[in-house]
Chain A
């Protein structure tokens, strides 16, 4: 029995026993190589689940949908290690209750094979060690290093070029599991922090704010990169921010669900070489 059939029957069993009210997984997409989220509420619907190497989206983003978990019932969700990491972060930020999430874990190995991950509750997955060793794809590191090697002017020009493409569709925000604010700063118009039209300056503001709000919270799932319709390398900024919190505060987001969010905690001897 392949992993797809195994997880279909597990999802069906979870639903028919009433343990979960909903299972979030993948269904067939519009083309052969694409998958789309499938929300199964009955065991019959669970038979439509697809699980293969094309299931790359981070479904944890649906867990923070407004009102989904407010009835105290459980929800099952298909998650890769980066999704499990997101759930760790969401729990540490008090956005989820660990007991409400049933995880159907899987890993995509060498880009094609899908393997099941042991465990159902978030506490079953000790991914801390693995995350510490985890490195983003080489092209991300390479691109970030290339930018770091530039002069400040060149960097500004580079990002000006990239951000000028932004159409402010906020797909990066919608797809991100960490962007769960009920009222995002860009939707606030008194005061209007970020201008609504998509000119380069406003785009700079939006993308800087987005990156700053994700500093030390990004699970590096790359969903923002994939969602961006104009291919801005959003992941690079997130990667750089993650690198900074790691080097300055020895903090890696999503190692476990007990950690305190990095910007909501402090140590008295945090580095401050730049402060006069």
Chain B
């Protein structure tokens, strides 16, 4: 483990706002950390909490979930529904001891390329400080070494 730790970040974004925002960051030639892997979805309302758990399980160190600002949803109310779901999901994570600081939520519009770039940099720095997310990965390793499964 002599390699310096490079965090893996998975971003679940909605295609109408945050993905377009990320696109704007790119076309504006803004530089941001290359640690993020973006998964584009139709709407934040499409993001099942399962996605987040699966990402953490498969090796992500942090997860970003981002969509349109309230009132801007392409489907009128997808982000409002998602917001309620996240509130409950965060409480669940907290109660079961999965570190909340590794899962971030944000609203980024198609015009906020700079906010996207800043946020990715911020999450990358924070995750670098937190270190790798090992709790789930250790459990995963246990499974892989037990071939009888």
Contact = CB atoms under 8 A, between A and B. Distances in A.
- Determine the interface band of chain B, counting residues with CB < 8 A from chain A: 35 or more
Given A201-B139, A268-B71, A208 B96 contact: yes
A208 B53 contact: yes
A155 B83 contact: no
B97 A201 contact: no
A274 B104 CA distance: 8
B135 A156 contact: yes
Contacts of B81: 263-264, 266
A201 B95 contact: no
Contact of A249 (B84, B92, B140, B142): B84
Given A248-B87, A262-B84, A158 B97 contact: yes
Given A201-B139, A268-B80, A270-B83, A152 B97 contact: yes
B143 interface: yes
Nearest to A267: B80
Instruction: Summarize A's interface: helix, strand, loop or mixed.
Output: helix
A161 to B, nearest CB: 11
Given A199-B146, A201-B140, A244-B91, A274 B86 contact: yes
B1 interface: no
Given A199-B142, A199-B149, A240-B91, A152 B107 contact: no
Given A201-B57, A244-B91, 15 more contacts: A152-B94, A159-B97, A197-B149, A209-B53, A212-B92, A244-B87, A249-B84, A263-B85, A266-B77, A268-B80, A272-B70, A272-B83, A275-B86, A275-B105, A276-B105
Interface of B: 49-50, 53-54, 57, 70-71, 77, 80-81, 83-92, 94-100, 104-107, 119, 135-136, 139-140, 142-143, 146, 149
Q: Which 5 A-B pairs have the closest CB atoms?
A: A156-B97, A155-B97, A266-B80, A201-B139, A276-B106
